[in-house]
Structure 1
Amino acid sequence: MSTFEHLDLSNSLIHALEDLGFQAPTPIQDQAYAPIRSGKDLVGISQTGTGKTFAYLLPLLRDLQYSKEIPPRVLIIVPTRELVGQVVNQVESLTNYTNIRVLGVHGGKNINTQKPGVVAGMDVLVGTPRRVYDLVLHKSLSLKSVKKVVIDEVDVMLDLGFRFQLTNIFDMLPKKRQHIMFSATMTEEVDELIDDYFNQPEKITIALSGTPLENIKQIAYKAPNFYTKVELLKHLLSSANAYPKVLVFVSSKRNADRLYEEMEEGYEKDLCIIHSNKSQNYRLRSLEAFNSGKKRILVATDVIARGLDIEDVSHVVSMDVPIYPENYMHRIGRTGRAEKEGTAILLYTPKEEEHKAAIEQLMKLGIAEEAFPAEVERSNELLPEERPKDKQKELSHKLGSKAPKGESTHEKKDKNKKVNLGGSYRRKLAKKYKKPLTRGDKNQNRRKK
């Protein structure tokens, strides 16, 4: 078993880790230490509970020396006030033997009460994106000295609508800086953020720990479209005894609402839903109903379900195939826990076969294929994004005026060939005041008698 000794930690960090009772680094801590300390940009894909906070704190604090400078040199952005407090506590626990200053800022408090702490100065600033951005706008916080910026739980931040604040904070930072990003799930928005601001980042992916695949039975059904998947799901979940506690994942909030509406008629008493467009109270009620057994089917998006504490899930159903294979691993990790058996069901269309193959390659394991039940009705209804595009219309739009004339085209009529000369009034003025032939020849401008 590896220990912290090979990481070349400072004595102060080693003493702090001993006080905390930590003896060996987790896989994400072991793999992230060298790239972060070297100054490279890093993207870590890791689930909650894998030790990712220490994965970036240990290398950042290793070489951070005390300074009397007021602006922060390390900026850590997290999505919620709870995480701000958690990260601040972890920084404090690791800096017991140093003079490093840390400050946490977040919403829910009057911004004026946090300004004195910011003005007093700190080495490490931990904050939510909106509060950090507001403090900069209030000119209480300067980001001119930030050399290291950490974006933790970035998928949650983007899903909660903090992209505007994040991108503006990035634009306010010094050009020379190191980026460190951690996320449990990958999305297109996360990819765009990486492409826009990161410089050839090193990527580390840590599989969900404590979830052996042998505890999870995986099966897949091939269906032509989304609404046929819905009919299949209704058929599968008809038996409450066979499917006692089912977590259904859908990639988008829109499709989660569509699924809920389709399922509501026959499964209203058993069904609940959570995603980021629902209020906090609504989400809490749905989660409580699912955990207590009042509801046996929970429809959820990837990001919002990630931090939920849900036990004894008998089945996980993927209504679509995630573009990023790591997201599928996160989904199925919600069942088969604590040495219990679990079942993961994947529903996919022909267009999603490529993503399914990527998942199997990541797992190094094939997903067993089940025949589509003959008794399930196949729907011909398609989602707008599933409908084929009008290729002829798309082609004509691209070609524009270069499109060849066919039988349906004709020459313009004479009245339509007229050129706009600016109106009769402008033409009369132009005729009256002619441009001189040479710069000094003013006679041309005289009115003819």
Structure 2
Amino acid sequence: MLCKEHKYQPFVLRNLEKFGFKQPTPIQMQAIPVAIHRRDLIANAPTGSGKTLAFLLSILHQVHSEEKIGYRAVVVSPTRELATQIFDHLRNLTSGRKVRCCLLTKNSAMAQAQDPKMRQKYDILVTTPLRLVHAIQNKEADLSHVHSLVLDEADTLMEKGFLEQVDEIMAACTSSQLQISLFSATMPSSVEQMAKTIMKDPVRIIVGTQNAATELVDQQLVFVGQEEGKLLELRNMIHRGFKPPCLLFVQSIDRARDLFHELVFEGINVES
């Protein structure tokens, strides 16, 4: 399909085959043609459905010339961990080809990418909102040639904590040809309506039931009473034979710090 219908370059197809890609998933089959035709896009699909590959393949279809005009595509993700995962996928897809990609997060080594002499050597930028805003404000990133802006985990990026940063990023993308794509597992109606105010007649794609829980994860709801009950239930889960590794999500940095110390005291190997 990718070869016959969308005329992808051979290096993309070779790398897809190399990393075990056999056929596109439903979100890829629906989102890629829309993005290739330069339409703004709001796409919802469950976790693990192939959203990352959908927007990366769309970008690579459009970023293929040897022009050194600076960033032509930007992918924004809410956390550095997600940004790093996306960047790793991108490097795999561009292996053996001179598509210049860079990762901009707090922990990444970006001295060269932020050097004015080096900026125009990159085609695709993967970043987090705060780092990119910092780079824009310090004139370390020129987004005037960006034709494709992707917001991954868009429901999170459109919330209050990130919205001002996203607005500043969009204001810096001054190209009249800018295409905006929003990808997420869930999209509350209030966030969707807000997104539409900054997009041009977006195409809406929903794979599966909108905002439904993923069937790929076994989920349980446990009543714990008060705050102290959360740690007690966590201890009980471990004693019942639950085998790490696992991810724990908490409401704030302070709560993460407290939980870290509590788990260390319990003799559990933990990172925060």
Q: TM-score by structure 1 length? A: 0.48
1:155 deviates by 2.1
SS of 1:36's equivalent in the other structure is: helix
Counterpart residue number, 2:202: 201
1:188 deviates by 4.9
**What residue identity is the alignment partner of 1:264?**
Q
Counterpart residue number, 1:321: none
1:110 deviates by 7.8
Does the 8 Å CA contact 1:50/1:209 hold for their aligned counterparts?
Answer: no
Greater radius of gyration (CA)? 1
**How far apart, in 2, do the equivalents of 1:12 and 1:111 lie?**
27
Is residue 256 of structure 2 the alignment partner of residue 281 of structure 1? yes
Does the 8 Å CA contact 1:264/1:271 hold for their aligned counterparts?
Answer: no
- Residues 132 and 264 (structure 1), Cα distance of their counterparts in 2 relative to 1, 3 Å cut: same
Counterpart residue number, 1:11: 10
Does the 8 Å CA contact 1:133/1:165 hold for their aligned counterparts?
Answer: yes
Counterpart residue number, 2:221: 246
SS of 1:162's equivalent in the other structure is: helix
1:199 deviates by 1.1
1:25-424 alignment, distance < 5 Å: 25-108=24-107, 115-116=114-115, 119=119, 121-159=121-159, 161-174=161-174, 175-188=176-189, 190-207=191-208, 211=215, 246-247=221-222, 263-264=225-226, 270=232, 275-277=250-252, 279=254, 281-282=256-257
- Residues 102 and 247 (structure 1), Cα distance of their counterparts in 2 relative to 1, 3 Å cut: farther
SS of 1:56's equivalent in the other structure is: helix
**How far apart, in 2, do the equivalents of 1:151 and 1:172 lie?**
15
SS of 1:13's equivalent in the other structure is: helix
**What residue identity is the alignment partner of 1:121?**
K
Counterpart residue number, 1:394: none
- Residues 112 and 151 (structure 1), Cα distance of their counterparts in 2 relative to 1, 3 Å cut: same
Gap runs ≥5 in structure 2: 235-247, 265-272
**How far apart, in 1, do the equivalents of 2:74 and 2:260 lie?**
35
Q: Which has the higher contact order (CA 8 A, sep 6+)?
A: 2
The CA deviation string for residues 222-267 of structure 1, in whole angstroms up to 9 with x for no partner, is xxxxxxxxxxxxxxxxxxxxxxx5257xxxxxxxxxxx8xx32995
Does the 8 Å CA contact 2:83/2:126 hold for their aligned counterparts?
Answer: yes
**What residue identity is the alignment partner of 2:101?**
V
The CA deviation string for residues 275-324 of structure 1, in whole angstroms up to 9 with x for no partner, is 534546258659x79xxxxxxxxxxxxxxxxxxxxxxxxxxxxxxxxxxx
How many corresponding residue pairs?
A: 244
1:27 deviates by 1.1
1:176 deviates by 3.1
